[in-house]
A and B are shown apart, each in its own frame.
Chain A
Amino acid sequence: MESPDVHGPEDWIYKLDNVSKEFWSGKRLVAKGCDQVCLRIVRGEFLAVTGESGSGKSTLLSLLGFLAAPRPCPQEGQFLFRVNGTTHDLRAALEEGIGSARMSRWRADHVGFVFQSYHLMNHLTAQANVELGARFASPDSRRGNTADALLAMLGMANFARKRTRDLSGGQKQRISVARALSKHPAIILADEPTGNLDIANKCLVLASLLIANAVYGATVVLVTHEIEHPALVASRSILMRDGRIVDDRQITPHVTAQESIDIRVLADRIAREGYPAVYAELKFE
């Protein structure tokens, strides 16, 4: 199931061929979340997944994050995940009956999540929430920054001892990003992370994702239904419809990662110039 890389010179992290996710209610097929998706995600890229509601964006994210298993199991296709020079085959793991355990392990070691509703432990402090991200990772995967350093980097140092229920939405989301970064993940999966935020916080969170991508080298998959986001941050954008990928293109973002490493610069600029002015500079190539 785990083998040295023999899949070609490209530095991909995910390789999906004909991967589907069907939802069944008993013997009745309810919906197809993903329909024979073929996707290759290159290490270090910032991939934006866009599409209408119900197009399968989040389902794809759950598959990439090993929160859900493909169904049916791809018999003719494949679901490969490569990290640290080792290729993992999800299909083989599922066929061996150890899919659930392997998915938990991979999730714990290599995947960070950022959700629209934050999904923090509200009765714990910000620091405890950030530490939770690396809690289940194996020791090799815990070489990320400490919670304090991450919180400081995201401008949340003063809130480390506060319970997250007392924080604002934007602060919670930055803690969520810090939690995702705490294990030094190979990939960060963000499911509409700016859905509940105002413009300033949106930019702050997007900037922090950019930092995760540019500084920490994490591959980022951003699911969003806001059409401007890909142009703002992503290096590649795919459009989904009815569970299929109907468009896949490279993007040169106008606010580059290098320019937005300091999220305070971005925040100041947004506060000073306003989001429309910043957005006006952003165009598809």
Chain B
Amino acid sequence: MNKALHFVHYALYLDLMRRSSLALVLASAAIAVSVAVCGILFAAASAFEAYCEDRIARSGAVNSMEVAARRDKELGTPWAAPPIGTDNAQQAISRLVAILRRDLGPEAVVCAEPAWLSPGWVYVFLAHPDKGGVGVAVGVALTSPTDPEGRRVADSRLAGGWVTDSKRPQIVLPRKTANRLWQGVLFAGEPCWLGITDDSVCAEARVAGIFDSTKGDYCFATAPIVEAIQAALSALDEAIDDTQAEGDVHAQSEPRKATLVSNGSQEELPGVSGASRFATIRCQIYFRDRGTVLKARRLAEDRLKFWVRTPFDDFDSELQLLAAARTAAWAALSIMLVTVFGALLCTFLSWVSRRKYEIAILKAQGSGNWWVAGAYVVQSAFVGTGAGLAGLWLARLLCPRLAAWIAAHLGQAVPLSVSVPTAAAASLLAAFVGMCVVAALIPALAIARQDPWEVLRR
């Protein structure tokens, strides 16, 4: 430690004793201004985001969203395939719920209303007692044992005892499933396996996301839902086509009985009724990331020709402005980083090149290449840190003026606190110090490898 401190001290002493380091002064100024501009941009974006959050919160739309998706009847384009029945999936949901209630305990896990379902994918929202009734999502993907994926599932994951027999319909829930679904093991993306219907599907249940958690798992939720909608449409269309081709309408038109076999006990479940048409998908999504929701909506609308309405539609202008502010902040940051890095590289190249003579002297005294490079890296890091802190201080000075400008621009009294977010400030500082280090390391290493004798002989 002492050795390192000594090295840092000496590295700084070697060059900063010099009176005229115009290149370093210019570099420091460039860094300070860049950090200040970036910091102000982040502060503005952050303040505006807070403003939007506030407005949305006041509207009561916080942390939940109802997406009402309906087929665009006005387009006048008929379904390419027969409409999709949901009865099988409804039954699957019922069974799954029954199984979960039985195995996990009715008092512990209360199944909320299955908010959204489709034959291809099913999402069930369960109340998690530890979360105070906050919804926990379980996604169920339905695959047919007749298709390759279903066969793979049957062969490799279900070990034979799982695949249902059309004549002996059964649903099997392995004992371990209960454990895996219960507290502490509800990890996003972790599969468990369920047999759902008698003759056509086995199922993979996958915890798609723990909503309202702080783990960021929510981001897995919306895109799979949209994908699931697409998958469900395709899969069920194919399934219906196949069934009709075989003339086996019986399975869909007559209720049948399924037997639940789990942990050695059996119970009868309600029969499966025929397919019916659905025209509306209704889902409840707990969210934190509006961007993902908007993306999901775009996907749904593009692929499925649904119109999806969200409560955010009321805040379209604000959200668009917010998105623009974010984009502008990132674009400005990116451009600034590239520009400043180029400028720093040139500046440090010039700076280190002017030290060619001193480097040759150091090498003649026995310093290694890495010592020389390290000395200049330390100096550049020192410059970057100092200038970065100065830039953040400058940004802090300008923030109140920015707050006044934003308030005036919005034309109303908004409780706005404009400040550079700590995380953004730390990131900016780290980014600029990192750039300084890289910008100094490259020329320093190059010049350290020069022949000192050549320089000293001139």
Which A residues contact B (CB, under 8 angstroms)?
58, 62, 65, 67-68, 100-101, 104-105, 107-109, 111, 113, 115, 117, 119-121, 123-124, 132-133, 135-137, 179
Contacts and interface: CB of A to CB of B under 8 A. Distances in A.
A119 B364 contact: yes
A136 B367 contact: yes
Interface in B6-29: 10, 14, 17-19
B366 interface: yes
Contact of B14 (A105, A120, A121): A121
Nearest to B371: A136
Contacts of A119: 357, 360-361, 364, 456
Interface in B50-98: none
Contact of A135 (B17, B18, B365, B456): B365
Closest 10 CB pairs of A and B: A108-B366, A136-B366, A67-B453, A107-B366, A62-B453, A123-B18, A104-B368, A136-B367, A119-B361, A123-B17
B19 A108 contact: no
30 contacts: A58-B457, A62-B453, A67-B451, A67-B452, A67-B453, A68-B453, A100-B369, A104-B363, A105-B366, A107-B364, A108-B365, A108-B367, A109-B366, A113-B365, A119-B360, A119-B456, A120-B361, A123-B17, A132-B361, A132-B362, A132-B365, A133-B365, A135-B365, A135-B366, A135-B367, A136-B362, A136-B367, A136-B371, A137-B366, A179-B365
Given A121-B358, A123-B19, A136-B371, A68 B451 contact: yes
Interface in B361-388: 361-369, 371
B141 to A, nearest CB: 57
Contacts of B456: 67, 115, 117, 119
A105 B14 CA distance: 21
Contact of B365 (A68, A105, A117, A136): A136
Contact of A124 (B17, B364, B452): B17
Contacts of B357: 119
B88 to A, nearest CB: 71
Interface of B: 10, 14, 17-19, 357-358, 360-369, 371, 451-453, 456-457
A104 B370 CA distance: 11
Q: Chain B interface secondary structure, helix, strand, loop or mixed? A: helix
Nearest to B15: A123
Contacts of A67: 363-364, 451-453, 456
Given A101-B368, A108-B366, A108-B367, A121 B361 contact: yes
Nearest to A182: B365
Nearest to A135: B365
B384 to A, nearest CB: 22
Nearest to A180: B365
A107 B18 CA distance: 26
Given A119-B357, A124-B17, 6 more contacts: A67-B363, A109-B366, A113-B364, A121-B358, A121-B361, A133-B365
Contacts of B366: 104-105, 107-109, 111, 135-137
A121 B357 CA distance: 9
B367 A104 contact: yes
A135 B367 CA distance: 8
A120 B14 CA distance: 12
A68 B453 CA distance: 7
A196 to B, nearest CB: 14
Nearest to B455: A119
Nearest to B454: A68
Contacts of A117: 456
Interface centre among A101, A117, A119, A133 (most CB of B within 10 A): A119
A63 B453 CA distance: 10
Contacts of B452: 67
A55 to B, nearest CB: 15
Contacts of A132: 361-362, 365
A76 to B, nearest CB: 25
B196 to A, nearest CB: 66
Interface centre among A105, A109, A120, A123 (most CB of B within 10 A): A123
B23 to A, nearest CB: 15
Contacts of B360: 119
A111 B358 CA distance: 18
A132 B456 CA distance: 17
A101 B19 CA distance: 33
Contacts of B364: 65, 67, 107, 113, 119
A65 B366 CA distance: 10
Interface centre among A65, A111, A121, A132 (most CB of B within 10 A): A121
A58 B14 CA distance: 28
A115 B371 CA distance: 23
Contacts of A133: 365
Nearest to A134: B365
Contacts of A101: 368
Contacts of B14: 121, 124
Contacts of A121: 14, 358, 361
Nearest to B364: A113
A31 to B, nearest CB: 13
A120 B364 CA distance: 11
A179 B362 CA distance: 12
A67 B363 CA distance: 8
A76 B363 CA distance: 29
A108 to B, nearest CB: 2
Contacts of A108: 365-367
Contacts of B457: 58
A93 to B, nearest CB: 14
A18 to B, nearest CB: 21
Interface centre among B357, B365, B452, B453 (most CB of A within 10 A): B365
A106 B163 CA distance: 76
A38 B19 CA distance: 47
